[in-house]
Amino acid sequence: MTPQEVELVQASFGKVLPQAEAAAGLFYERLFEIAPHVRPYFRGNLRAQGAKLMTTLCAVVESLHDLDELMPSVRAMARRHVAYGVTPADYQPVGAALVHALSVHLGEEFTPDVRGAWLSAYADLSSEMIMAAYPPRGAEGP
């Protein structure tokens, strides 16, 4: 990610945070609409799960300027997701649901540049997570 993309992601997420609960709810609503097969991955209270999602996103967004420090926890989270049944293909609808929720909550402020920055951030992180959780045969993860 470029420094400008990091700034766009951080600034736009700061505008979503006051609406965190609603944004998380919209994220899950959209995710289950476009990928109903993932619903069983989410056990328990979705409001609590949404709070965890937003806490995690906040930590990730705050750490985008230092991806090397962030990656060990991102990789560990990806490995945990395997136990829930998450597959590499599941990352695409998650990204789509995230972008949808952000676009709704940011409205006109979700410019093409902001969208591109979020897509770049999600592509970098999801690629890293997929590689950590599903390393090629014979490869060892960090």
- Confirm whether 118 is domain-assigned: yes
Between the ranges 48-62, 77-91, 92-106, where is the mean pLDDT highest? 92-106
Domain range for 81: 3-133
Average pLDDT over every residue of 2-22: 96
Mean pLDDT within 20-25? 96
- For residue 67, what pLDDT band results from cuts at 50, 70 and 90? confident
Alpha-carbon distance of 24 to 99, in angstroms, equals 12
| 116-124 average pLDDT score | 96
Domains in the chain: how many in total? 1
Place of tokens 């960090």: 142
130, 136, 124: which is closest to 68 by C-alpha? Answer: 124
Which CATH number does the domain housing residue 11 bear?
1.10.490.10
What is the chain's mean pLDDT, rounded? 92
